[in-house]
Structure formats: C-alpha cells, structure tokens
Chain A
Amino acid sequence: MLPASAPMTLAMGPSHPAMHGIIRLNLQLDGERIVDSTIDIGFLHRGFEKMVERHTWNQAIIYTDRLNYVSAIINNTGYCLAVEKLLGIETPPRCQTLRVIMSELSRVMDHLTCLGAQVMETGAMTAFLYAMQAREWIYELVEMCCGARVTTNWTRIGGLSADVPPEFVDAVKERIPKLRRMNDEFSKLLTKNRIFIDRTKGVGVMSKEDAVSWGFTGPILRASGVPFDVRRDTPYLNYDEFDFEIPVGSNGDVYDRYNVRLFEMEQSLRITEQALEKLPDGPVNIADKTISLPDKLDVYGNIEGLINQFKLIMDDHGIKVPPGETYLPVEAANGELGFYIVSTGEDVPYKCRCRPPCLPITMAMPTMIKGEMIADIIPIFGSVNMIGGELDR
C-alpha cells in the first residue's frame, strides 16, 4: 500500500469530456487538491509551418483558416497583412474596413464560443445555447461574405476574394441589436449569479507580473490589469480611426476574464457599427496586377487580363515577395497573433512562423491550477480558451 502522503497521479485528457480540445494534464493529487501538474500538448500537430513553405503565398491562406477555427477571418487577415507588409503595399480603404468588420464579428463569435463553453462546463446549459444561437447569426454573415462558415479563406494578398454582397450591410445592421440583447441576457443570467460567482471568483488567479512574464496577451492579460491591446498599441488596418474602450480587470481570476470578454463583445459591436457607418465605396483589391487577380471581365474579355491571370497562377511565376523578413501582430480573439515571415524572393514563403496567442496561456495552466481543486480546472481551462488548431499548429 502507498503511504498516505504520496500524491496520486491522474491523467486528464487527451480526450476527456471536460477538456475541450485534445490536451493532457498529468495531475499529482492530494485528495482533491492539485499538488503539481504537467501539461502535454501536440496532439493536433499538423505541420502548419511546413505546409506553408510548400505552397505559394496565396495558397497558404487556407492553412491559416485551420489555426483558430472559431475566428478564422482574423487569422486570414493577420497572414495577409504580414505578407502585404513585406510587399510594402496597402489595401484599399474599403478592403480595410471590411476586414475590420469581419474581424470584430469573428471576435464576438470567438468570445461567445469561449464563454458559452466555459459556462456550460460550470453547469449553465441555457446560457450556452443562447450563445450558440447568437453565434449562428454571425456564421450566416460569414457564409454570406465568403461562402463558407468555418474554413473562410476570405482574404487574399492585396485584397479580398470577393466584395461583400449588397445585402450584407443591412444584414449586419439587423443583427447587431439582436446580438446586444443576447449579450445582455447572457450577462443577466450569470454575471450576478451567486453560483457562478462562487465557482469563478478568486479561482485561477494570475498576477499582473506573472501574466506579463509568461507572455500572456489578449483578454486574459487585460483581466490581470494590464491594458495591452494590439489594436491600440500598434494599430493595423484602420483601427486607429475607431473609438472603443479597453476593459481591464484587477484580480486576474476567472470571473474577471469572463467580464473582460463580455465587455469586449460589446466593444466589438461598437466598432462594427462605426465601421459600417464609414464603409467607403470603391474596389477591394489593389490595382497592381502582379499581386491581385484581374477582374473576371478582363480575364474573359481581353488578352492582357488573361496573361495576368496566368502569370499569377502558374508555377514559379505568381506573387514575388521581395527578400526579407517581417513580423506583424494582430489582435486575435485570444491575444496577440503574429506571423513571422521570411521570403527569399520566390513565389513560396521560405518560412512562416505563427505566434499562437493561446500557447503561453496554456503553458501556464500548471501554475494557475496549483493548489486548486480538480473541479476548478474546468472553469480555469474554459477561461484559457485553448484552441487546439492554433496551439499545436
């Protein structure tokens, strides 16, 4: 028999019903309390970075869809912005505003999924279903503008695959009040509910200093009290034209993270409204025909258009990105999503490194759950919002 003081080892995951995403926690338990733990990742490794090296600049966009599959458009945008930075081009204003609108709607979608799953695992099934219904409204918009719900593949280097359909603006305007109402109901069900507060307040605390030194970004860093937001600190697209607030918490616990995410959804809807107000007309692709595909009418109608089309698609032709390297961060729903891109002047990337926002946060799980009970792992892990596709790439 083991001595009474020896900790028990328990493997939670990789396919545990409460671990959404495939990941394994090896827990050392003293009764219900966690003495120590380690974390195993890599169960969803698909070789994203290697795949990108074997495909042309534009083909690589489909692999970014599969990073954070809950808010794929933000990944598309991040990758394209990085390549555009290396090319030294800027997309037309309409394209930028549309990218902002869809990124913000994706952020709402991501937060809805995260909060919904988090509260479902703490027992609030109704709130989860309301969140899923609201997410469905946004998925319809995504389907409307890019023809797919999850694997969006919407942006292109130097523009978009297609402009939004004419009914898009009205559809978004119609859905914003509905989303607001849903947020409100979600918050009324949970924010002041004693059961939920007891499960989340003071759980999984991360201090300001720890959060910074672990490399946290995004809502979870802001919940610890650091007002860092890529959209404010290094503005990309035309984010500096919009007025929005940055929520910060002060305790850095699960309850604060929940509140930060709820507040951010409202801010994202505000940005969307402002962007719809000032959505300019005009083209969505840059005019440079060595970068974006020509208009279909030109391709069918005249020889120049046809040649451009062939030149952009044929092997060893395509977009030629000047040699160099660059890093560009965007604010994804989980934090700073960065693409570090190296080009040797060929039509394929030499190297594309992705900085996934949830990797540092997931790696800090053992620190966050130390000394807590097993049941607390569930809300803490929910608040981390680990996305397997992005974590393991």
Chain B
Amino acid sequence: MTESIQGYKGEALATIKKYNVRVWSDTLIKSSRGEFKGIILPRSENDDTTHIVLKLATGYNVGVDVHTITEMTELGYKEAHYKIPEKEFPYTEGLPKVKLLGTGGTIASRLDYRTGAVIPAFSPGELYGAVPELADICNLDTEKVFAVFSENMGPSQYKKLAITIGEEIEKGTQGIIIGHGTDTLHHTAAALTFMCQNLPIPVVLVGSQRSSDRPSSDAALNLMHAATAAGHGDIAEVMVCMFGPTSDEYGLLHRGTRVRKMHSSYRSTFRTIGDVPLGTVTRAGVTHIHSVFNKRRNDHNVKILPYFEEKVAIVYYYPNMQPDIFDSLVANGYKGIVIAGTGLGHVNKLIYPAIKRAAAAGVAIYMTVQTLWGYVHMFVYDTGRDLMSMGIVPAENMLPEVAYIKLGWVLGQTSDLEKVKEMMLTPVSGEITRGEPYNGYLIYQGGIPEVEEFIRRVHK
C-alpha cells in the first residue's frame, strides 16, 4: 500500500509535506502559472498524484499541478464536516406506523470528498430534515439493516432483510419501505417476494436515479410515494415504487417478480415486463391498475422462508457459445443454471453435449428468454424438444433474473430435482402468469407520427 493522506499520494503528498501544509488549511500557492489562494481539499482516491485541489474563495475548485509549485504558505486552518441537519421526526396520532429499512445506496445520501462519491446517510431525523413532507404521510421509524451498495447486495442480505421484515410485522408495523440502490433493486424485490409469503402489509422497495444531493433528485418524491403506498395502500405485496414518467408526476407500483430496470440512467427506468403494473401512487394515495393482488390484513401471519443456495448461475447465451462455459460451472460445483436463451428459448448444438453432462451431474437447468417479453416455447422447434429431452426445464415467462433468484431460493430448500421443478413452476406471486395481456408489451417506437403525437401530449 502506498501512503495516502486524504487521498494525496506520491508527488502531491510529497509536495504537501515539503511545504508543511495540511489538508483543510487556507493556503497560498505560488506557481509558475501564477498565485492561487484557497483551502486545500481532500483528493479523490482515484485521481492522479500530481495535482493539489484548492477551493477558491468563490466556491469553485481548481487543481494546481505540483510540478509548477514554487512555494506554499499556510494562512489558516478550517476543517469542514458534512452533516445533514437532524430534527426529531414528529409523531402524529392517527397516521400509520411505517418502518424504513436502510440497505445503503442512493435513496438518502451525501457527498464524500475523498472519493468524490455519494455515500449513504440515514436516520429518521436526517430524513425528516431532508424530506419534511414524510411527517404528513406516516409515523416513520428507520433502521439501518446494513450498508452496502446495490451491486454488492446478495443472498445474505436478502435473508437478513426477510427476517427483519418478519420481525417488523410481528411488532405491528403497518408498512415497510426498503431503501435500496437501483441497480439490483429488482433482484432483491424478487428474493423478498419468495422469502416473505402471505404478507399482511405492503413491503415497498424504493431507490432514486438522481442522488438526493441534487435539486432535481427523484429521491424525495419516490420516498413520499413509497411511504404512501406502505402506510396507506392496500396492496400487501413486495413492490418496487419508482417514477412512472420521467416527469415529477406519479410513481408506479411494480410487482416484485415482474419488474426490471430497463435504462441505465432514466428516472422512469423500472418497468413491469409482460404484465401491467399493480398501480400508480401519488401523495394522494394508491390507484389500482391490476385487479388481482394480495390484500392488506390485520394479522401477523407472514411466512418467512430465508433460504438461498449460492451455487446458482445465470448464463446469457450468445452465438458460438462454447461448451466449456457449462463444463466449468459443473466442475465448480454449481447446482443450478438459468439460461437466457434466444428467441423462444434456444441455444446452439455446440453446447448440447455440455448440457447433457450438466444434467447428468444433477444440475437443475432452466430456460428463460433474453427477449424478456414472452414465454419460452420449446415445443415449436425440434431444437427445443431436443433441449427438453436433455433435461432443460422451460421456465414459462419468468424473467431471467427472477428465475435465477427463484432457483437459488428453491435449491436452498431442496435438492430433489422433481421437487425443485414443482416449486419452480408453481408461481408464488406472478413470476409465471397464465397468459400475457395484450398491453403487457408496449415499447413504442419514436419517430412514428402517432407516437410523436402521443408523447407530445403525455409525459413519457
């Protein structure tokens, strides 16, 4: 490890030491490009080692190249500490008791100078300081279950969340919000759907696509929508609550097993695939779209099933995929494989032998479609029939990620392949549907006159 002080390393660190100045000190730098005066800020760990960052009196930051520096003089010292103003969250008689479980991620966040990144910050007081409107919606309590970035969420977090949800329901909580980074929000939503069955209350997963340190953030509105759905809504399911359109208008409530992040940066990135969403939500309340859903109840009879087999993989098929991909999974002890196949659920002949070897080794293999919309139909072509005969099970219209999560959850409970198959193909909550509604697949193509006419009037 190279030495680093507040992100300064190498030549930059040597320069700071040479002139005996400190990070956070008000400093005059003389350089061959002129004189710069300002407060030395910490440097981002990943930036180069030849510049020193100054915050000028005007509030702007600039970097000074250490090779140009001829003198540095410390004029003063003032260390800044970032703190969200914390106020006690007020209790209002008559409002529902809602618990916000924190996992990390960007729903509530602050800036970190050191890495230049947005890091989580979280407490009822901080939240109340940032989104005071929450106090009009519910009586909020929060608990940081753990703090990991969305991409680092995994089975142990799913299990811990499921157990915590069970405890909260036991305590009489009337709605649960889970703050979560958006990247793998839909994986967690699927996992919690399988692990928390027969829910009496709503469990709403929420994140933000624009971090809450910016004025245009969707975080505050998403939180308000989530709090409304959790505290006042009557859909007692695991749901994802995120922007409907990119405009600040309403949130969509997506069923945890049918939702997917579909754009790397849009606010309206989450879409229900192959079905219509459960409903919309504004601060005024939830409006139903789907007529079939699990209703809110007053009992505490939730079933918590916190199981997960980690040796499960998802294989995204591409032309000319080689058999060794499968062989190596089997060699490494994988017990389940979900294939995202082309079209109706296909892979090339080249890998048939490897699939046979995997099936023979007792690996549970399930087929999904990388088209995302539509069902696996393996009877249509011979290739499909060949694959089934080798032991691949078509997973109907289960989304690849959902099938992966479900297979992990099922294999966590049994290794009997027949039992696995029965559980996989028996829907828990909409992960397989009996049919796909006509309006379950809508990707409008821009440029078509009627579509242009539509998006001119209706917010996307």
Question: Do A and B make up one complex?
Answer: no
A residues whose Cβ falls under 8 Å from a Cβ of B = none
